[in-house]
Amino acid sequence: MDLSEKTRLEKLLGMLGSSFDGERANAARMISAMAEKKNLTITELIYGASSVRPQASYRTSKPRPAQTTADKPKSRTLLQSLSDIASTSDEFEFTLTEWECQFADDVSKRYSYDYELSEKQIVIAEKIIRKAEIARQQQGATE
């Protein structure tokens, strides 16, 4: 996101506190359009995940084939990453939603012995892991 877009986003976010209903609604609509244009969620747009383009979104992702035995190592890797995120969830306070942190914790515990994640769980897990990796990269860049 370039400087002019960041400045515009900051102004729009400020407008969300307006005492005028129309101004708040218009600002929210414009923020939503900015996020949609970049294929991000509003949270990703606000917290700076726009520096790395997501690989897929829920709207554009294609259905995956059924998980096979060959996919089990991938599931284990996903579960390990989710477990790492769950154990350091305080680190992602401004990156991941409370629901995403809870998902990482629940799924990593529930499927620690049975690696069969559903297709939807895999998509969500990959998105959470991608957001966490972006946050870690950005945190490393600021240190």
Per-residue confidence at 39, pLDDT binned at 50, 70, 90? Answer: confident
The reply to whether the predicted model has a pTM over 0.75 is: no
Q: Average per-residue pLDDT in the chain?
A: 76
pLDDT band at 72 (very low <50, low <70, confident <90, very high): low
> Of the candidates 64, 68, 45, which has an alpha carbon nearest to the alpha carbon of residue 125?
64
pLDDT-derived band at 143 (thresholds 50, 70, 90) equals low
> Which own/partner pairs from 38-47 qualify as long-range (CB within 8 Å, at least 24 positions apart)?
38/1, 43/97, 44/131, 45/1, 45/9, 46/9, 46/13, 47/94, 47/95
Q: In the chain, what is the straight-line distance between the N-terminal and C-terminal CA atoms, in Å?
A: 21
| Mean pLDDT (whole number) for 28-35 | 91
Look at residue 81 in the predicted model and tell me its pLDDT.
Answer: 86
Give yes or no for a contact between 103 and 122, defined as CB atoms under 8 angstroms apart.
no
Q: How confident is the model at residue 30 (pLDDT cuts 50, 70, 90)?
A: very high
